[in-house]
Amino acid sequence: MICLYVHIPFCRERCPYCDFFLVTKPGFVERFFEALAVETTAKASLFAGQAIEAIHFGGGTPSLVSPSFIDAWLSQISGLAQISSETEITLEANPEDLSPASLDALQALGVNRLSIGVQSFADRKLKALGRAHSAADARRVVSEALERFRSVSIDLMCGAGGETLAEWESDLRAALDLRLQHISVYMLTLEEKTRLWRDVRKGLRRLPGEEAQAAMYRLAAELLCGAGYGHYEISNFALEGRHSRYNLASWMREPYLGFGPAAHSFLVSGEAQTRFSNASSLTKYLADPAGAVDFREALTDEQRFDEQVFLSLRIRKPLSVGFLRKGHKLGHQHLDSVLVRLQEQGWIGVESGEVSLTEAGFLFADLVAAELLSA
């Protein structure tokens, strides 16, 4: 069983806060899909014959390209591996690209889960975030998607400049009214070298402080959990059984293979675990689709331990104290004192020899991981 990820690196224009790998050159779409087919053939031995648990088209903006390209690649995969009606096939989309006809086309080619970059249901906030769609577009598209796909997810972003807690609550309530299967909540973060970063440095924009953002995050958890969503990862909420299988597999350290520029892979073969990333350059990717990599490494025992701790905390998967003792670098006594302190802060619970993050600890997952790793 393996998951596949495809990075489709095209956007109309770059949003001011975004630092993902992408290009704004639609003229390269056809050549990209030709290269993707070459890469897929070259890497077929890594997944051929296996059952595909999930396929995730991310980006970039996969909804920007014609569904016929997605269809051709899925046909290539079906000739090599087992895609069934149980395979989760997710496509990330932006509201401005979607019409009833394009939704029908995506559904017809087998996409069964849509992840829509809504970000907000308020026009003022969408403008502040530099998004191309309106609140009305978002509502229309989500309703049309819910009629067609077995699972629909939206991204909501909190912390756009000037947003009040009441406005954020309106966004959350609008999402709840739609009865989506999945909601991702992201705090707007300042990534270096983005337009937003430059504007903040010049004093042209202000973002809410840490405490204001934390209050928004806590409100999201309270309202969404109160409405029956499970908070299964720091930023992700889902109705029962509607979590993202691709994302969950990657956090559970299950194997996944990435295609396209900047795509990451994690492969397991016997005892060996390898991570690699394709080159973050469309030029290099088009020149050598299967060979251009930024890094490739076989994980050491220490890296595996660190990943296991870091990723388990994200999804609140319990970690045994015995396991933590084996990898903690400063000895048992130090670890025990760390556990007591983190419990007193209310960030972890320890029960029957197992440690897991509390709901309050979600906001501090990175700090907790650093303490448990004694990094």
CB of 10 to ligand SF4, least distance (A): 8
Kindly list the residues in this chain that would bind ligand SF4 in the complex (CB under 6 A): 11, 14-15, 18, 20, 22, 59-61, 94, 117
CB of 32 to ligand SF4, least distance (A): 15
Distances (CA, A) of 239 to 23, 85, 115, 119, 360: 34, 20, 15, 19, 20
Instruction: Tell me the Cα Rg of the chain.
Output: 21
Between the two ends of the chain, the Cα-to-Cα distance in Å is 33
Pick 14 or 148: Cβ nearer ligand SF4: 14
Peptide bond into 60 cis (omega under 30): yes
DSSP state of 23: B
Pick 147 or 191: Cβ nearer ligand SF4: 191
Pick 35 or 196: Cβ nearer ligand SF4: 196
The burial of 49, by beta-carbon neighbours within 10 Å (0-12 exposed, 13-18 middle, 19 or more buried), is given as: exposed
Question: Do the Cβ atoms of 122 and 91 come closer than 8 Å?
Answer: no
CB of 16 to ligand SF4, least distance (A): 9
Pick 43 or 56: Cβ nearer ligand SF4: 56
Pick 92 or 371: Cβ nearer ligand SF4: 92
Pick 262 or 309: Cβ nearer ligand SF4: 262
Pick 115 or 181: Cβ nearer ligand SF4: 115
Closest C-alpha to 362, from 220, 175, 189: 220
CB of 341 to ligand SF4, least distance (A): 38
CA–CA–CA angle 259, 69, 75 (5° rounding): 75
CB of 247 to ligand SF4, least distance (A): 16
Question: Do the Cβ atoms of 60 and 280 come closer than 8 Å?
Answer: no
C-alpha span between 171 and 168 (Å, rounded): 5
Distances (CA, A) of 159 to 145, 168, 169, 234: 26, 8, 12, 16
CB of 156 to ligand SF4, least distance (A): 13
Q: Which contiguous run of DSSP H or E holds residue 90?
A: strand 88-93
Pick 102 or 345: Cβ nearer ligand SF4: 102
CB of 133 to ligand SF4, least distance (A): 10
CB of 361 to ligand SF4, least distance (A): 28
